[in-house]
Structure 1
Amino acid sequence: MGWSSCLLQVMAQESMVQYEPVAEIGGGAYGTVYKARDRDSGQFVALKSVRVQTNQDGLPLSTVREVALLKRLEQFDHPNIVRLMDVCATLRTDQETKVTLVFEHVDQDLRTYLEKVPAPGLSIDRIRDLMQQLLCGLAFLHSNRVLHRDLKPENILVTSRGQVKLADFGLARIYSCHMALTPVVVTLWYRCPEVLLQTTYATPVDIWSTGCIFAEMFRRKPLFCGDSEVDQLGKIFAVIGLPAEDEWPTDVTLSRQNFSPPTPQPITDCVPEISEKGVELLLKMLTFDPLKRISALNALEHPFFAE
């Protein structure tokens, strides 16, 4: 066994025998998620497994690094980050290891939470509180150089006491090899223009997704529902306008000429209940140029949160 597998085995506190699966609670790009009971403490946990190809040196170094980073983040015990409680590595064959991440279990995600809200929807104070918590978690991840990359209502958890916890961050890199083999359609609705155009990206990707989620808290339905990359971009430009020629990335195959310049729809047509300061913050998040997009830390300082 290579040193990387040894390292991961050391990181695993207990074997998988400690966790008794209770129910399947979801599937998606990252495989099946199980609710399980910790036999020692009796508390419920969420199990997320992935099969990782191994060689004579054990697990790929990239996987070990990503898991080590998630474990390091755990030491901070941030209130808006789901807790990673354990990591278990099980050798399946000479070429494959099953890595299981054991997270704290939270009963509902933001999608379920929004569906349960009775008409006329969330109050602006509740939206302000949820957004503040979401941005606190995101600012923490970004300050530790972690991109979420797949932020959407399904992986924002909301506890029964209204505490927001970000889940599934960092998994995109651990599971990238596995995902190529998984025929799961990943939603485009929260994807930023730079990812849709397949150009370089960094932490602003998560801010774009947060902007989409911010609007959804008011609307209780997604803001941009495209069914392909081009359709998604078209729906985005219908609201924020077609970017100027000098803002269009030069390293992309899709030309700006593919899109006819729409007359931008006022954001208040899409999100009528939003306040003036809320509109200001939302547009700073839904900025086409990632370098001009507001950061999570600056968003927390925005007057919307002082209203």
Structure 2
Amino acid sequence: MDMCPERLRYELLAEVGEGSFGKVYKAREVGEKRRLLAVKKFNFSMSPQEAGIPPSMIREVALLRKVGHFNHPNIVKLLDASAESVGSALDLTLVLEYIDQDLSTFLSKAPACGLSRDLVKVRSDVMQQLLQGLDFLHTNLVLHRDLKPANILVSNHGEIKIADFGLARIHTFNIALTPGVVTLWYRAPEVLLNTAYMSSVDMWSAGCIFAELFLLRPLFKGYSEVQQLQKIFEVIGLPSEEEWPQESPISYSESLGPRGSVTKLLPNLDQDENDLLFRCLSFDPSRRISAANALAHPFFMKL
């Protein structure tokens, strides 16, 4: 039994994951609540020759503390964070609410034939809660920048929570935005083209996730940035040269995909489903739908 004596007290139940910096455990709180917890334990060398705590982890803790004050139901909660020096190393422990599975695992359990029309409510619930979380983040100028099924948690009660804020940033007008963000299959064209971007990058990722709720596989599955662009343009059509961002270091080429606008992105989608997907996957980020406007889309008015 491993206890946290002065802070939130818990007992470790099982190791559920391991990364390059540490391990993740399922735990149970000691006391009256007895709630399940996710405990992440990391160990970093603090010697001058080592890098120390990665900036992404510092940023994640800071952002989770910032948004945690609002107690939003669709954002994973950081319940405790502590650091302890052990010789020339630093042990960092994060305690978060425990959620049963991520969206990737949830979709992997779906029937091979896919989520049926009878389960349209599942898609609606997932997207509605995801968009509510994104609307909250964007209203508070937070860009998640790595939205994908593995970073969306799904409880046994159908609660959706956005997690993993290692790449998240507070958006300011003079922010230095890095191009290597968002897992490749969910990366917006403006990021692939190494041009300026804003909160609409998260809405592109949300659109990719929306499509995955129907396909049960990633919509754009490229293995390089150029191939990813080609996969995107095969579906949405190659934009005109006038629409191509002039500041992009990648030159416009008709070899990237078929020309012409596309009005129906996926077969078997009804009008509202297709329209919401179309608005999320607009090449021009200024025309891409916002989370707030997406929540008012007719797709969510069906049920």
- 2: distance between equivalents of 1:266 and 1:28? 41
Indicate how the Cα distance of structure 1 residues 158 and 291 shifts in structure 2: closer, same or farther if over 3 A, else same: same
The aligned counterpart of 1:45 is 37
Whether 1:254 aligns to 2:245 is no
Report the residue type matching 1:206 in the other structure.
Answer: D
Structure 2 segments unaligned to the other structure (5+ residues): 170-181
Report the residue type matching 1:115 in the other structure.
Answer: S
How far off its partner does 1:166 sit?
Answer: 1.1
How far off its partner does 1:14 sit?
Answer: 4.4
Q: How does 1:81-160 map to 2 (within 5 A)?
A: 81-92=75-86, 97-118=90-111, 119-122=113-116, 123-160=119-156
- 2: distance between equivalents of 1:242 and 1:257? 9
Whether 1:70 aligns to 2:64 is yes
The residue matched to 1:272 in structure 2 has which SS?
A: coil
Partner of residue 13 from structure 2, selected from 3, 22, 27: 22
- 1: distance between equivalents of 2:192 and 2:247? 13
- 1: distance between equivalents of 2:36 and 2:76? 13
Provide, for residues 265-301 of structure 1, a one-character-per-residue CA deviation record: whole Å limited to 9, x for no partner.
9575x63232101111111110112121111001111
Report the residue type matching 1:25 in the other structure.
Answer: V
Q: Once structures 1 and 2 are overlaid, which stretch shifts more, 27-36 or 121-130?
A: 27-36
The aligned counterpart of 1:34 is 25
Partner of residue 298 from structure 1, selected from 279, 286, 293: 293
CA RMSD of aligned residues (A): 3.3
- 2: distance between equivalents of 1:232 and 1:32? 32
Please, what TM-score do these two structures have when normalized by structure 1? 0.79
- 2: distance between equivalents of 1:51 and 1:247? 47
Please identify which structure carries the higher helix content: 1
For the Cα contact (< 8 Å) 2:147–2:202, is it kept in 1? yes
- 2: distance between equivalents of 1:171 and 1:103? 14
- 1: distance between equivalents of 2:218 and 2:129? 20
How far off its partner does 1:101 sit?
Answer: 2.4
The aligned counterpart of 2:278 is 283
Provide, for residues 117-166 of structure 1, a one-character-per-residue CA deviation record: whole Å limited to 9, x for no partner.
23441422221122111101110111111111111111111111111111
The residue matched to 2:80 in structure 1 has which SS?
A: strand
- 2: distance between equivalents of 1:256 and 1:91? 53
- 2: distance between equivalents of 1:198 and 1:68? 27
How far off its partner does 1:69 sit?
Answer: 3.6
Aligned residue pairs, count: 281
Indicate how the Cα distance of structure 1 residues 31 and 252 shifts in structure 2: closer, same or farther if over 3 A, else same: farther
How far off its partner does 1:32 sit?
Answer: 4.2
The residue matched to 1:246 in structure 2 has which SS?
A: coil
Report the residue type matching 1:219 in the other structure.
Answer: L
Provide, for residues 161-203 of structure 1, a one-character-per-residue CA deviation record: whole Å limited to 9, x for no partner.
11111111x32259xxxxxxxxxxx841111112222222221
Report the residue type matching 1:86 in the other structure.
Answer: D
How far off its partner does 1:230 sit?
Answer: 0.8
For the Cα contact (< 8 Å) 2:184–2:225, is it kept in 1? yes
- 2: distance between equivalents of 1:287 and 1:13? 51
For the Cα contact (< 8 Å) 2:238–2:261, is it kept in 1? no
The aligned counterpart of 1:182 is none
- 1: distance between equivalents of 2:255 and 2:292? 33
For the Cα contact (< 8 Å) 1:13–1:88, is it kept in 2? no
- 2: distance between equivalents of 1:255 and 1:116? 41
Structure 1 segments unaligned to the other structure (5+ residues): 1-11, 175-185
For the Cα contact (< 8 Å) 2:39–2:96, is it kept in 1? yes
For the Cα contact (< 8 Å) 2:84–2:92, is it kept in 1? yes
For the Cα contact (< 8 Å) 1:238–1:262, is it kept in 2? yes
Question: Relative CO higher for 1 or 2, CA cutoff 8 Å, sep ≥ 6?
Answer: 1
For the Cα contact (< 8 Å) 2:233–2:256, is it kept in 1? no
The residue matched to 1:103 in structure 2 has which SS?
A: strand
